[in-house]
Structures are given as structure tokens and as C-alpha cells.
């Protein structure tokens, strides 16, 4: 067979890929979405669009932090057993 390869951590790869997808989506949404709003309706509407995006991000962030917090608690409880 071929030369020895280091083991692959597929969970770490999946986590980094998911983070890149989400970051790319957010960047695309901000640049293209707010850019189109500013181009069509003007900078005042772009400010309100940013306000709406931030308002949408707060509940999503609360959900993500809650789920990650529960995962952290479970991992810590398993480690203590």
C-alpha cells in the first residue's frame, strides 16, 4: 500500500466546513443584499435593512448559543462520570 498518512479528523473538517459555509452566506447576504438595497432605494434604506438583519440575527444567535451550551454541559457531565 501507499505511505502512511496521518489520521483524518472528519468531525473537525465538517465543523470547519460548516463554519465557512455560514460565514460565506452571511458575507454574501450583507454585501449583495445590502448593496442592492442601497443601490435601488438609497443609503437610508440600507441602514434599515442592516437593522432588520441584526434583529433577525439576535434570536438565531440565542438559539445557537443555547444548543452549544447544552452540548457543553452534556460533554462535561460525560467526562465527570
- The pLDDT tens digits for 4-41 are 777 788 888 888 999 999 999 999 999 999 999 999 99
Question: What is residue 56's predicted lDDT score, i.e. its pLDDT?
Answer: 93
Question: What is residue 2's predicted lDDT score, i.e. its pLDDT?
Answer: 55
pLDDT at residue 78 tops 80: yes
**How far is residue 78 CA from its own chain's centroid?**
27
Q: Which residue has the cell 443555547?
A: 66
Domain locations in the chain as residue ranges: 10-80
pLDDT at residue 3 tops 70: no
Q: Rounded distance, CA 22 to CA 28, Å?
A: 10
Q: What are the pLDDT digits (tens) for 29-75?
A: 999 999 999 999 999 999 999 999 999 999 999 999 999 999 999 99
Q: pTM higher than 0.85 for the full model?
A: no
Amino acid at each position: 500500500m501507499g505511505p502512511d498518512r496521518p489520521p483524518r479528523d472528519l468531525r473537525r473538517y465538517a465543523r470547519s466546513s460548516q463554519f465557512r459555509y455560514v460565514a460565506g452566506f452571511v458575507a454574501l447576504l450583507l454585501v449583495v443584499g445590502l448593496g442592492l438595497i442601497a443601490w435601488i432605494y438609497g443609503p437610508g434604506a440600507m441602514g434599515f435593512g442592516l437593522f432588520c438583519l441584526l434583529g433577525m440575527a439576535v434570536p438565531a444567535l440565542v438559539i445557537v448559543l443555547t444548543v452549544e451550551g447544552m452540548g457543553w454541559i452534556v460533554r462535561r457531565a460525560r467526562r465527570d462520570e
